[in-house]
Structure 1
């Protein structure tokens, strides 16, 4: 098979906020290639509505932001990572403002900030109302085009290894040509895995590619049982097209049932602004009772102007915001687990890094605090770029360990089949019986999950394998953690168990079974 060979100093897999911010910073001192499986900027960052949390305003401070982050995360967070990443808030905001991101301002000329679930103060900066992600990505894409080489519509299959060291990546373009990109620095920024579920706020690109690639390379993966469900996805007669930002509740929205009864009364002191896992469970419970759930927006003035993206989605689906009631339901939203890294994105494999949602710094603990994801992705990009210097050696095809292209005879399930199984057996509330059924179903695909990705598969086939790999890790981890904590909710173990408070579920060395270990948050620096 013909191969197209490229060489560079750093290759970045993914083109969301974390990937493009890292590319922009690294390009100041080295040659960078950005690879994206669809078009530049496609992914979850583009869809981010709420905004970016940053404690940089008068009356707010780093310690309050850290306290809110830890409380939302069920205190399962890596406090070192929380501190290191939140401390980057001023630098992140300065960089985004330097890029001319048009953050919204109040009439007095100061930046307007909103409040979201589990935040004690209004510290969420937004741009274009609920189009923050789109505005940030527009300016990042424009800046990066002039600084780095971009390869679109190239699906990366695997990391290229020399012994235990990463020296690049291999993948296939939409014409079926195999590409090998050799680089001493490989950065995975491929997003999350919300597409495992039929109802999700995520983009179609969010198929667990980053964690699957890292798993096949033998990197350490942790906390995959913690999948966050957002409580308010707009409910329509067809496909659920739009997230209803938590900022709507921050501005006065209230969750009610069809009788207009507030559903969060008596459930949590913060009511509608409780941590996401609490609100999502409350909405789910109402659905289980046979009730409908609505987000009442009657107390929000100028809703259409403040939330133009949501208003447009309502109009598209014949929902009239003027009536004041938006039908909602929960949907898969964010992967707290991922490739185990420190705040600089260093994995357990020399030369391989992970940032953004693909990575797990431990910052989010068991449940992410609203609008901390854009901050984390940007902060990791800045810290990584500051840490890395231009490599003093070149990676080449002569160093690569060649793996035979493995032909595996298997009929892969469709994307819809995977989503149906995950919806039914691994949703917001889980139990041993249903998780075991899902595990047994996934076990039929052992051979493709544990093997290097085969060039004989189509692009969709490779994506399906990545989805199966992420689903396998999530399902097994959910079975092992016999408690409820944060976003991980078990109806057969409905309380937190102190014995699990310092234990993490770890995947490493391509092993198909995870192990339970005491938390390890100090990773040896491998950038040399």
Structure 2
């Protein structure tokens, strides 16, 4: 492997690296795939694959790490996988693929048992059994927690520790995948890794390469119940032109090294799109990069406009917003209005599927009323939800006494790279696992706590589909072609593009000015859908779902994309936004709007799911 590094902004000297597996993403899907491959090798007594596992941000900056709700699995005596499947199907507006749904729910109990063998300790009841909780859309108690509302953190800490101990797995943080390459016998990637410290800001640095992911208001944090229109970006991500040469406390200014990676297979586990929305519960670094990368290779994508809002995010001026887990409502918390009137649901109650509760909250807000979560009836809140209790009290809220102001916020995406439950896509050697994949399970709305479940099941399934590729002999000629393609990409850059590629940064957040433009279009055009494919209004104004408005937005963003450096986080964010808007426009153009819409093309791509 070459070890030469960047010398200056004008001459890029990329490093070369050859591995067996490249995994893009360090959430549950990515980390568990790495562990499963290693375990698979031990079981069959074959050499473990050399794995490069990369994270766009720090290891803690993933949606899996932030997950509160838990993992759903039919473990109770009055429950069964078929009941779990029924709830999943109905929560998804009866648009999901039943075969995929049944396969997922059947494997849920075994996933929990496997995770326990890794050292993860799930919460127990007084009898010593795994404690089961209730969340929106579920007809049975089947949500498994670890550490109350810190399920994701507890799971990821355990798994990340294990994967870092595996000598055949290399873990890179703050590494951005810029471009992918495909050859019948090999895959490749161009990666920029923030790894070279800059002790002083360069004289020409103006601060445009860094952005804080969240503001830190003076304590205590006071909820803002008068937040403006969803069409406007909240004033919560702040840059400071007057202090452009200063680096935020606790941050390091880094220059990226450039890597050309050759690999037998690529696993995209890059997560969702929260960073493209003004109000989100997601990590703001997640801007749908996997969708843009896959699209450039011609990989089949499906339903990229199917966005889910979580109904109960804590209404503050932070970004991302704090999620108030559905587990709170499962334990007795209820939604109320600020005028003391009962919260009204047209269908069901406030433990209905997310899209129904979200629509009801937006309708209430459109009438000029705020919606709050009353958790005062939950006994021993501090003991049952210690992490959430700490978060609330740090913001000046006592859940035993105060009503908690809530607002729906972007939470997940149901569409993605078309894949089966083993992660196989339309392109050989390219796998998609977790939220970046569209398996057909979720329909138009993801059932609570099915996200971590799908990521875990897909990771365990993928190892079998990946293994045949790993047993193939290396093809030196194919590897040379991959490196030549990557080198050619770099050689075609202009001097300005080269300078932009290697400029010092603190992280891989896109430019804030660009994000404000993206926010306007995603909040306006990518609203959640009802089962009839009707956009849900998120303000008093009707949703912008007409063709001319979308076409104008696409023209604006496509023009902007053409003038954005190709190898940059800005290009990836813009490309994904354009793809999502194109999918929404295509939906509007359909002659039969009530036809099944979730990943219909998968049936013709793969063998039946088992």
**Both structures adopt the same fold (TM-score exceeding 0.5):** yes
1:471 Cα shift? 1.6
Q: Is residue 36 of structure 2 the alignment partner of residue 25 of structure 1?
A: yes
Deviation at 1:159, TM superposition (A): 1.1
Matched, 1:135 2:247: no
Partner in structure 2 of residue 489 of structure 1: none
Matched, 1:502 2:596: yes
Provide, for residues 260-307 of structure 1, a one-character-per-residue CA deviation record: whole Å limited to 9, x for no partner: 222234x123x0111100000111111111101001112211112222
Alpha-carbon distance change, 519 to 8 in structure 1, aligned in 2, over 3 angstroms: closer
> Post-superposition shift, 1:123?
0.1
| Distance in 2 (alpha carbons) for counterparts of 1:419 and 1:308 | 33
The CA deviation string for residues 381-440 of structure 1, in whole angstroms up to 9 with x for no partner, is 000013332331325541226244455899985223322332244344364567743542
State the number of aligned residues.
Answer: 492
Alignment of 1:423-434 (within 5 A): 423-428=523-528, 429=536, 431-432=543-544
What CA distance in whole angstroms lies between the structure 2 residues aligned with 1:165 and 1:442?
36
* CA deviation after TM superposition for structure 1 residue 480, in Å: 3.0
Q: 1:143 to 1:404 in 2, by over 3 A?
A: closer
Match of 2:267 in 1: 187
- 1:231 alignment partner in structure 2: 311
2:219 is the counterpart of 1:219: no
Q: Quick one: distance in 2 between partners of 1:352 and 1:190?
A: 13
State the shift of 1:241 in Å: 3.4
Q: Output the CA distance in 2 between the equivalents of 1:453 and 1:90.
A: 46
| SS of residue paired to 2:473 | coil
- What is the deviation of 1:474? 2.0
Unaligned runs of 5+ in 1: 456-461, 484-492, 506-517
Task: Report the alpha carbon displacement of residue 350 of structure 1 after superposing the two structures with TM.
Answer: 1.0
Residue in structure 2 matched with residue 247 of structure 1 by the alignment: 327
Find the counterpart in structure 1 of residue 207 from structure 2: none
Secondary structure of the structure 2 residue equivalent to 1:120: coil
The farther-off stretch of 59-68 and 229-238 is 229-238
| d(CA) in 2 for partners of 1:446, 1:251 | 47
Is this contact kept in 1: 2:376–2:399, CA < 8 A? Answer: no
CA–CA separation in structure 2 for the residues paired with 1:39 and 1:146: 18
Aligned to 2:144: 125
Q: Distance in 2 between matches of 1:135 and 1:37?
A: 21
Gap change, CA 1:365 and 1:503, over 3 Å in 2: closer
Give the superposition deviation at 1:93.
0.6
Match of 1:287 in 2: 365
The residue that corresponds to 1:4 in the other structure is: 15
Q: CA deviation at 1:218?
A: 1.2
Distance 2:474 2:79 in 1: 46
What is the aligned partner in structure 1 of residue 26 from structure 2? 15
Pair 1:414 & 2:498 matched: no
1:160 to 181, 185, 190: 181
CA change 1:341–1:62 in 2 (3 A) is: same
Aligned partner of residue 350 in structure 2, secondary structure? helix
Cα displacement (A) at 1:327? 0.5
**Aligned match for 2:404, one of 317, 320, 326:** 326
Separation (CA, whole Å) in 2 of partners of 1:520 and 1:499: 19
Matched, 1:73 2:92: yes
Give the secondary-structure state (helix, strand or coil) at the position aligned to 1:228: strand
Partner secondary structure for residue 187 of structure 1? strand
Q: Which has the larger radius of gyration?
A: 2
Displacement of 1:168 = 2.1
Return the alpha-carbon distance in structure 2 between the equivalents of residues 453 and 16 of structure 1.
28
Shift of the 224–68 alpha-carbon distance from structure 1 to 2, 3 Å rule, reads same
Tell me if the contact between 2:22 and 2:265 (Cα under 8 Å) persists in the aligned partners.
yes
The answer (yes or no) to whether the contact 1:166–1:349 under 8 Å persists in 2 is no
Matched residue, 1:203: 283
Give the CA RMSD over aligned residues: 2.6
1:364 pairs, out of 430, 442, 454, with: 442
Specify which of 257, 260, 272 is matched with residue 350 of structure 2: 272
In the alignment, the residues of structure 2 paired with residue 201 and residue 82 of structure 1 have an alpha-carbon distance, to the nearest angstrom, of 25
Q: Provide closer, same or farther for how the CA distance between residues 450 and 352 of structure 1 changes in structure 2, counting only shifts above 3 A.
A: farther
State the shift of 1:176 in Å: 2.7
The answer for the alignment partner of 1:443 in structure 2 is 555
2-structure distance, mates of 1:9, 1:477: 34
The correspondence for 2:193, drawn from 163, 167, 173, is 173
The 8 Å contact of residues 52 and 374 in structure 1, kept in 2 or not, is answered as yes
The one-character-per-residue Cα deviations of 1:96-142 (angstroms, maximum 9, x if unpaired) are: 10112121111111111111111000000001110000000010001
Q: Report the 3-state secondary structure (helix = DSSP H, G, I; strand = E; otherwise coil) of the residue aligned with 1:183.
A: strand
Give 1:469 deviation, angstroms: 1.9
The runs of at least 4 consecutive aligned structure 1 residues that moved more than 4 Å come to: 237-240, 405-413, 432-436, 447-453
| Runs of 5+ unmatched residues, structure 2 | 1-11, 42-48, 195-254, 501-510, 529-535, 538-542
SS at match of 2:459: helix
1:165–1:349 contact (8 Å) kept in structure 2: no
Give deviations 1:429-465, integer Å, cap 9, x for gaps.
Answer: 364567743542443343675899734xxxxxx2222
1:470 aligns with 2:573: no
Task: Give the match's secondary structure for 2:84.
Answer: helix
8 Å Cα contact 2:284-2:320 kept in structure 1: no
User: How far 1:357 moved relative to its partner?
Assistant: 0.4
Contact map agreement 2:564 2:570 (CA 8 A) in 1: no
Residues 178-230 of structure 1: CA distance to partner in whole angstroms, max 9, x if unpaired?
A: 11111111000000001111111101221101111111121111011210000
Q: Residues 260 and 26 of structure 1: is their aligned pair in 2 closer, same or farther, counting only changes over 3 Å?
A: same
Contact 2:176–2:191 (8 Å) recurs in 1: yes
